[in-house]
Amino acid sequence: MMVLPAINCESFECVRERIQIVNDFSEWIHIDITDAKFTSRKTWNNVGEFFLLKEKYPNKKFEIHLMVEDVETAFFEWSRAKPEQIIIPFKTLKDSIAILERAKNYDIVVVLGLTVDDDLERVKTHKDDFINYQVLAVMPGFSNQEFNIEAIEVIKNIRNFSQFALIEVDGGVNEKTIRLLKEAGANSVASASFIFDNVSPKLAYEILLNS
């Protein structure tokens, strides 16, 4: 099970500090981007500053999690910086063809982001377009929320219609819920509060990695 430390910050200074905290032990870093429309909270969202992060940490792999109303505009903007992966919300997705074409040109993996209340029958119509999925097991936007057990059924349903899907879960991840996620068929998790609120973020990361 791959573990991605999740950064959910309102300032560039906070983002930099948290990357530095996990720099010694995590290859992958997940960064939340919200616009105060898709969710009530607005996080740091600056592609120019992200270029600086990529220069400072050339060996890191970045996953950008877009929780925004205008998915297409945000994707086109963030794709300029060529993060390894970008998560797009199914709920506000309008033009998957344009996004997938852009991703192919920029060598970016697109992850289809789902919430527990998304219509999985509609999601299934995209099964030939996407192999990577993310299940958000909390309300979008805020860290330190309680895990929604309904996410387990979403994972199982994805696994039923896409046997080889790569499924990430974000939200409410701890040493107990990660075991449930493994059993349900998840491949990776993103964790913010469990890692960064711990006295030893490295120990918390290793607990998840070995659970």
Q: What is the pLDDT of residues 85-109, one digit of tens each?
A: 999 999 999 999 999 999 999 999 9
Whether pLDDT at 143 is above 80: no
Q: What is the pLDDT of residues 30-49, one digit of tens each?
A: 999 999 999 888 999 999 99
Distance between CA atoms of residues 74 and 68, nearest Å: 8
Angle, alpha carbons 191-38-156 (nearest 5°) = 50
Q: What is the pLDDT of residues 172-187, one digit of tens each?
A: 999 999 999 999 999 9
Please state the three-class secondary structure of the chain as a single string.
CEEEEEECCCCHHHHHHHHHHHCCCCCEEEEEEEECCCCCCECCCCHHHHHHHHHHCCCCEEEEEEECCCHHHHHHHHHCCCCCEEEEEHHHCCCHHHHHHHHHHHCCEEEEEEECCCCHHHHHCCCCCCCEEEEECCCCCCCCCCCCCHHHHHHHHHHHHCCCCEEEEECCCCCCHHHHHHHHCCCEEEECHHHHCCCCHHHHHHHHHHC
Q: State pTM to two decimals.
A: 0.96
From 68-82, 109-123, 129-143, 149-163, the region with the lowest mean pLDDT: 129-143
